[in-house]
Structure 1
Amino acid sequence: MTDDQLPSRGYDGFRGIVRELASESTPSWAVPVQPAPDAPNVIVVMLDDLGFSDLAPYGSEIRTPGVDELAAEGYTLTNYQSTPVCSPARAAFLTGLNPHRAGFATVANYDPGFPGYVNEIADDIPTIAESFRAAGYATFLTGKWHLTKEAHMHDGADKGSWPVQRGFDRYYGCLDGFTTQFNPHRLVSDNSPLTIDDFPEDYYLTDDLTDQALGMITTLRSNDPHKPFFLYLAHQAVHAPIQAKDVDMADYRGRYEMGWEVIREGRLRRQIELGILPPDTVLGQVDTDGSAAVASWSELTDDERVAAARYMEAYAATIDNVDQNLRRLIQQLKDMGEYENTIIVVTSDNGGTSEGGLKGSQSYLSRFANAVGPAAAWTRNMERDPELIGGPQSFMVHPRGWAAVANTPFRRFKAHTFSGGVRVPLIISWPQGLPKQPGDFGLRDQFAFVTDLGMTVLQLAGVEHLRSRYGVPARDTDGIPFTPILREPHHAGVHHSQYWENNGRRGMLSGRWKLLTGHDTGDTISDDQWELYDIRADPTETQDLATFQPDLVRELADQWRSSAWNNTVFPLNDDNSLYRQRPSTEEMLAAPLTILPGVPTLERYRSSRLIAFRSFEIVVDVDRQAGDEGVLLSHGDQGGGYVLFAERDRICFSYNEYGRMHRMSAPWPGTGPMAVRLSFSAVEDVQWAFHATVDGQELFGAERLLQLVGMAPFTGISIGIDRGGPVDWDLWMRKRSFRYSGRLDRVTYLPGKKAGYDPETIINVEAEVSRIYE
């Protein structure tokens, strides 16, 4: 190209030159593309931890008229299966790769250094959002991401794995695996965290995510009336902590007092009536002992039954609210005249969760402490008023009996390779492009896997999945579009075999046969027994045929092993040890840190590195004057945390021990510049000894406080204010976020010695890389 070509050919000529060059040396994604005039919009609504039977078209008593409408006009898949936990499902959906090949053996929190556990999408793996964008679509995501490892979620981290860098024009939501509905711990808009001092009185996250999605759509239409869009609406609901509006819970008051056995039987009956399951289907058995045990409703005390019913009322209300927001989205599309030409998908990432144990819990975060083994002082459910269940003060997770109901009629739960962990609802509607034929009720019982879903919506929209990314050839996908089974009800299906693995639990599907094994922490792989089921005749996995078909067991076990090697499944995290391995690059997060007033709330994991399983001190430099009030420092929320504040000429400290409050205070010892020092000494039984001083003068203390570990404190560190969910509810009711009115100079964290019971192991990354390449 010569210097005079640009002026003589003008802007259009310049675009032509770019296209000519692109055809020779530039990857296809760099060339502007105009989508077809009739290209459909695509919306994928994914819920979190929603069980197979939790929507009305799948037998639920919960009202979901929005989902009902989509099912009536579209297709209900009854044998769609996902992964046992969330991040692998989301990665498989967005990339079309089997989860371990995509780098997600399990939840995206850590990186122990193995290919299947990278927990971020690699540079040579395009997402379907990038494919849609390359095809001329606008791409939007609201809600849960959970495809960035913890060490990369803070504001100074590499953001290459954040949504905007992975194909989404706009993002609004939570990078983490879960958050709360009334006071989300951290919301991100595009690439920046939002600073919200106080959420509105009527704030509810599911509403907010839908508002943001609607705003993105209407903004697009105000600027371009024709450009199609891809919207991935990834709800945090119904992942714990489960929180619901009072008005929604009121609609379900008294609906669950008959107990989970009765509700489960009712759902199966409706499933058979709806044609979801064959008439001879029997309920999958529930365990009566072990880690997956379900208590009989009759075994509970009267008080326990009252609380258990309340847990399910909140769970049902949360799903109901998701459907209310789905209806708002549908109505907006109808008002715009675009409903008929919009592909809408509703699904879940995995089966219902059993994290609530036998009786449920209002202190969800205390349940993550099991990584350190038994602690005599520990409790996994801080007793609280049952009236708080489902509200903003409760970090609740429902009892395992209700999880069995969610997964009706199947066995087991999230994290398992039994059908209860992986068989989930999937409804697809596209009135213009996938109209039903007369006599077709839209039920499809052919097997489909989560890797197929993203490839299917691309194919339906006429969009080719990218073959390269930034000039690097893309990895081959594993997903197979299941468009043929939508168009042909009696099609034989397109996906006939699939492996599963999660924390040592394995599964292999081949045609009508499914081989699987349970696995509990502490067991060895050699102790596990393969179980064999004919899922065509026995979809609820009740008749183990392994002893009758040893040759078939060996054949399928070999097939699983071959799939495992081909998909980078090894090493197996069968003893949870890989969770505890952290790269040495994270050590900088535990160095002394000074935080200045006005800084946005620090991210959760980045904050936790300063205090987790260690002794530490906090020094608060303040120039105190009479009458100064407000929060000096806060870290955490109603799930657990601590807050230092000044009120009525007293210095006060509140420690929220997973819902159990400890409050202490003392008069300020004078005015002027001073240093408040909070000292936490790690002692036995995963506890801290705590004392506070001002310029060496003792203020108050506590001999024993349960340490905040696992996912607590869930809200990160704020200086001069208490943002996110409040640590001390009574203080918040009086003062809300309570910004400090005086002069606060700085807060310094001084991490000390790690406790001997710290489960984490630091891997020297540089040494390991050198060893490998030598």
Structure 2
Amino acid sequence: MIGQFARLLAALTLALSAVAASAQAQAQDAATRQRPNVIVVLMDDVGFSSDSTFGGPVPTPVLDALAQDGLTYNRFHVTAMCSPTRAALLTGRNHHRVEMGVIVNLVRDEPGFRTVIPDSAATIADVLRASGYATAMLGKNHLTPLAEQTAAGPFDRWPTGLGFDYFYGFMDGASDQFRPILIENTTVIDPVPDPAVDPDYILDRDLADHAITWIDRVRGAAPDRPFFLYLAPGTRHEPHQAPEEWRARFRGQFDEGWDVLRERTFARQLAMGLVPPGTRMTPRPDLIPAWDSLSADEQRVAARMMEVYAGMRAHFDYQFGRIVEELRAQGQLDNTLILFVDGDNGASGEGGPGGTTLGLLNRPAEDDAYRLAAIDEIGTERHGTNYNVGWTWALNTPYPWFKQHASYLGGTRAGLVVSWPQGLAGSSTGLRSQYGHITDIAPTIYEAAGVTMPESFAGVEQLPLDGTSLLYSFADPQAPSRHTTQYYEMLGNVGIYQDGWLANLGPPNVIFAPQYGREKHWELYDLDTDFAQAQDVAALYPERLARLQALWEQQQAANGFSFAARGNVGEGLLQSQREAFAGPRRLTYRRGEGPFLDGAFPSLPGRSWRLSVPVTVSEGAQGTIISQGGFPFGWGLYLIDGRPSYVHVNEPEAPLLLQGPALVAGQHDIVLDVAPVGDPVPGGPTRFRLLVDGELVAETQLERTVRAHWGGNGVGIGREVGMVMLPETGKPFVFTGEIGPITLELE
């Protein structure tokens, strides 16, 4: 009897425990259902005054509508470059503390600059996924160390290793909009294997399609599960490209130039209340030419570049609107927290005074005549355009300087729009002027989602967050700023902020003028009364400046890095690329392995290398053996009408087509031997020799070759990927024979 009672008591206890557990689970499910969905959008290289939302010339009606019903922040800040801002956003920690003091392409073996996010800095995606959220990243990553971008990984710092269930996008700092090479989770793909099948492909539409599909799948499989979507388009990093209809919408709208544009933008900002009355607009630096000093042809080209830029941004706004409307149709928009960060840094000045249709890194011999001849191709897949620095200056109104310049608001101040109808109910919408920083995004999301950043994650003690939640400002537009101290450092450009005061080293380092900014001095600005950073008051407040200088030293120590002035970013990038596969080595590649990312393939300019390929062909065989890049920069080994052919494309130079006689049917060994002439200098004189079955069949020498960068179009084996190299070969140009193991020997 006693035994029966004991068993009954145990069963009753178990049942009560089960009821309690069920009730707890139901409560947790209910809490999960009430949590907001979260969408973070991070634009690329967008100036503070680019979009109509912030007084700019580019109409962004979707963002305007979100701002109208939500919040607009006019004192929000980023780090001044791509990877550092992205790391600070996703982790909530300062960029040097998570080893991202530079973009991943500029990795240095120094504390704060190793570009390897530590396990002690769990991301928003990590934390939200552990709390029941579905997570996805779409678009630009630019956080994976170069050495880890191969097919062998490791994949810990790919997006799927940083807390994201799903990733669809690109790894590097920029991507072609028409012919990108993308990653789906950890697989490299060419989304346009045959342009004839999808001639109208454009990346921003593809990203919007994937966002809508992913949201639909999550909602279909688990309707009550909240989601976190991080959408990071390449728009508007160069190359500036857009569909023809979107480029055409802005034809003639910028013919009055950047001086007039900046004045009109400033007037709109004052009228909208984005800029306080009495603000002084900063003057145009001497490095930027006046619009009226340009010739008529120079103005035509410059105006076209700005038209393309505007079309690119407006097109993304439309695509983002499709995502917003999908949320509305599903009844999800009211409880979706959207944080739209309108730029990872200020507008880019990397196009220089004349703009560029070929990019900056290869330093091509591009002149005004070349740009004028290409005017009708600007914005198409044929060119990697970046506009004139005059437009950069106009799109950073009213601030001085631009991207990379962490010492000036033109590099660090970005617009922020917050939309959350359910969460903002009862609060006044409109302008918020609290000081904010990109590290504030993570704690804002955690507070909104009811999630606490754990002290330990995956068994690793976590670094404390550096950011401050902005949720306090949602309800009270007049609340004092809670983020009161923030340091800035990027490529030797330095600033330190505290309680409304900013001290900085100036003038800045300028990418297209390497000698500029070598002689620096400390400046001081009272940003509470000087919204645009226009009046240096260092001479009036030497004691305050001294306190901020001491604080700057403290911040270096607290964030684990040591400041040293750095050289020009272009030179640093070239050096990093050359070091990625330094030293002699022998590498083997096989058909079917590709496409490869550029970061997973050796950097070839300025060094000796030898490519050996056994092939088996029928008479008249043709196709791609191996190629990297495309137009306007690329190289490839082909059979064209049966003839072994080496192609080297280096605009604006004439392309090289080095060919031997047609092969007879059977097995052959093809060798391409490449060696610098004289001292090995990237972009310098180079000899090319083509051998078949041990016999030299063709050779030549080029005085100017590709200096550094093949355009980010990847490496294809057995077929073309990314951009087409030569119009006569087309794409996919599949090799019709057999390709044995390809051996690449590097000296």
Which residue in 2 is equivalent to 1:545?
A: 537
**Residues 635-674 of structure 1 aligned to structure 2 (within 5 Å):** 635-658=628-651, 660-664=653-657, 665-674=659-668
The Cα of 1:612 is off from its aligned counterpart by 3.8
CA distance in structure 2 between the aligned counterparts of 1:606 and 1:166, rounded to whole angstroms: 20
* Alpha-carbon spacing, 1:212–1:84, altered in 2? closer, same or farther (3 Å): same
Residue identity opposite 2:237 in structure 1: H
Specify which of 286, 291, 294 is matched with residue 300 of structure 1.
294
CA distance in structure 1 between the aligned counterparts of 2:584 and 2:445, rounded to whole angstroms: 44
Which residue in 2 is equivalent to 1:134?
A: 130
Residue identity opposite 1:91 in structure 2: A
Which residue in 1 is equivalent to 2:182?
A: 187
The Cα of 1:526 is off from its aligned counterpart by 9.2
The Cα of 1:179 is off from its aligned counterpart by 0.9
CA distance in structure 2 between the aligned counterparts of 1:400 and 1:110, rounded to whole angstroms: 23
The Cα of 1:136 is off from its aligned counterpart by 0.8
Is the contact between residue 32 and residue 225 of structure 2 (CA under 8 Å) also seen in structure 1?
no
Specify which of 672, 675, 680 is matched with residue 678 of structure 1.
672
- Per-residue CA distance 1:378-427 (angstroms, 9 max, x = gap): 55886551111010010111110111122111110000020000001100
- Per-residue CA distance 1:495-522 (angstroms, 9 max, x = gap): 1121100111100111221111134387
Is the contact between residue 64 and residue 320 of structure 1 (CA under 8 Å) also seen in structure 2?
yes
The Cα of 1:93 is off from its aligned counterpart by 0.9
CA distance in structure 2 between the aligned counterparts of 1:63 and 1:582, rounded to whole angstroms: 39
Specify which of 226, 247, 250 is matched with residue 248 of structure 2.
250
The Cα of 1:674 is off from its aligned counterpart by 1.8
Is the contact between residue 415 and residue 421 of structure 1 (CA under 8 Å) also seen in structure 2?
yes
The Cα of 1:56 is off from its aligned counterpart by 1.0
**Residues 211-222 of structure 1 aligned to structure 2 (within 5 Å):** 211-222=209-220
Is the contact between residue 282 and residue 399 of structure 2 (CA under 8 Å) also seen in structure 1?
yes
Which residue in 2 is equivalent to 1:751?
A: 746
* Alpha-carbon spacing, 1:55–1:525, altered in 2? closer, same or farther (3 Å): closer
Stretch moving more, 583-592 or 494-503: 583-592
- Per-residue CA distance 1:537-583 (angstroms, 9 max, x = gap): 22222221122222222111111111111112314352368767769
SS in 2 for 1:546: coil
1:119 corresponds to 2:111: no
SS in 2 for 1:673: strand
Which residue in 1 is equivalent to 2:25?
A: none
The Cα of 1:613 is off from its aligned counterpart by 2.6
Which residue in 2 is equivalent to 1:322?
A: 316
CA distance in structure 2 between the aligned counterparts of 1:230 and 1:541, rounded to whole angstroms: 36
Which residue in 2 is equivalent to 1:352?
A: 347
Specify which of 623, 626, 630 is matched with residue 630 of structure 1.
623
Which residue in 1 is equivalent to 2:380?
A: 391
SS in 1 for 2:728: helix
Give ranges in structure 2 of 5+ residues lacking alignment. 1-9, 23-27
Is the contact between residue 71 and residue 429 of structure 1 (CA under 8 Å) also seen in structure 2?
yes
Is the contact between residue 284 and residue 542 of structure 1 (CA under 8 Å) also seen in structure 2?
yes
**Residues 52-67 of structure 1 aligned to structure 2 (within 5 Å):** 52-67=48-63
Which residue in 1 is equivalent to 2:468?
A: 480
Is the contact between residue 111 and residue 581 of structure 1 (CA under 8 Å) also seen in structure 2?
no
**Residues 223-622 of structure 1 aligned to structure 2 (within 5 Å):** 223-288=221-286, 293-347=287-341, 348-364=343-359, 367-369=360-362, 383=371, 385-417=374-406, 418-435=408-425, 437=427, 440-518=428-506, 519-520=508-509, 527-572=519-564, 574-575=566-567, 591-609=585-603, 611-622=604-615
Is the contact between residue 580 and residue 602 of structure 2 (CA under 8 Å) also seen in structure 1?
no
* Alpha-carbon spacing, 1:602–1:705, altered in 2? closer, same or farther (3 Å): farther
Which residue in 2 is equivalent to 1:44?
A: 40
CA distance in structure 2 between the aligned counterparts of 1:459 and 1:183, rounded to whole angstroms: 40
Which residue in 2 is equivalent to 1:759?
A: none
Residue identity opposite 1:118 in structure 2: R
The Cα of 1:668 is off from its aligned counterpart by 1.3
Is the contact between residue 109 and residue 148 of structure 1 (CA under 8 Å) also seen in structure 2?
no
Which residue in 1 is equivalent to 2:7?
A: none
1:167 corresponds to 2:155: no
CA distance in structure 2 between the aligned counterparts of 1:502 and 1:451, rounded to whole angstroms: 16
CA distance in structure 2 between the aligned counterparts of 1:390 and 1:587, rounded to whole angstroms: 33
- Per-residue CA distance 1:694-728 (angstroms, 9 max, x = gap): 23444434322534343325233211111111222
* Alpha-carbon spacing, 1:73–1:321, altered in 2? closer, same or farther (3 Å): same
* Alpha-carbon spacing, 1:580–1:699, altered in 2? closer, same or farther (3 Å): closer
Is the contact between residue 611 and residue 671 of structure 2 (CA under 8 Å) also seen in structure 1?
yes
SS in 2 for 1:37: helix
Is the contact between residue 719 and residue 747 of structure 1 (CA under 8 Å) also seen in structure 2?
no
The Cα of 1:491 is off from its aligned counterpart by 0.5
- Per-residue CA distance 1:86-133 (angstroms, 9 max, x = gap): 111111111111111111111122542222012121011111111111
Residue identity opposite 2:131 in structure 1: A
Is the contact between residue 634 and residue 649 of structure 2 (CA under 8 Å) also seen in structure 1?
yes
- Per-residue CA distance 1:256-307 (angstroms, 9 max, x = gap): 111111111111111111100012223212211xxxx211111212211111
Is the contact between residue 145 and residue 163 of structure 1 (CA under 8 Å) also seen in structure 2?
yes
SS in 2 for 1:457: helix
The Cα of 1:471 is off from its aligned counterpart by 1.7
- Per-residue CA distance 1:41-99 (angstroms, 9 max, x = gap): 11111111111011211001211110011001100000001111111111111111111
* Alpha-carbon spacing, 1:653–1:711, altered in 2? closer, same or farther (3 Å): closer
**TM-score, reference length from structure 2:** 0.90
CA distance in structure 2 between the aligned counterparts of 1:706 and 1:35, rounded to whole angstroms: 64
CA distance in structure 2 between the aligned counterparts of 1:387 and 1:583, rounded to whole angstroms: 33
Which residue in 2 is equivalent to 1:740?
A: 735
Specify which of 58, 70, 76 is matched with residue 72 of structure 2.
76
CA distance in structure 1 between the aligned counterparts of 2:598 and 2:212, rounded to whole angstroms: 28
Is the contact between residue 641 and residue 662 of structure 2 (CA under 8 Å) also seen in structure 1?
no
- Per-residue CA distance 1:578-626 (angstroms, 9 max, x = gap): 76776999558962112111221122022233x2431112122222321
The Cα of 1:693 is off from its aligned counterpart by 2.5
The Cα of 1:203 is off from its aligned counterpart by 0.8
Is the contact between residue 105 and residue 576 of structure 2 (CA under 8 Å) also seen in structure 1?
no
SS in 2 for 1:116: coil
SS in 1 for 2:742: strand
Aligned-CA RMSD value: 2.8
* Alpha-carbon spacing, 1:701–1:310, altered in 2? closer, same or farther (3 Å): farther
The Cα of 1:436 is off from its aligned counterpart by 5.5
CA distance in structure 2 between the aligned counterparts of 1:411 and 1:237, rounded to whole angstroms: 22
- Per-residue CA distance 1:201-223 (angstroms, 9 max, x = gap): 11111111111111110001111
The Cα of 1:234 is off from its aligned counterpart by 0.7
CA distance in structure 2 between the aligned counterparts of 1:585 and 1:317, rounded to whole angstroms: 38
- Per-residue CA distance 1:232-262 (angstroms, 9 max, x = gap): 0011110111111101001111111111111
SS in 2 for 1:552: helix
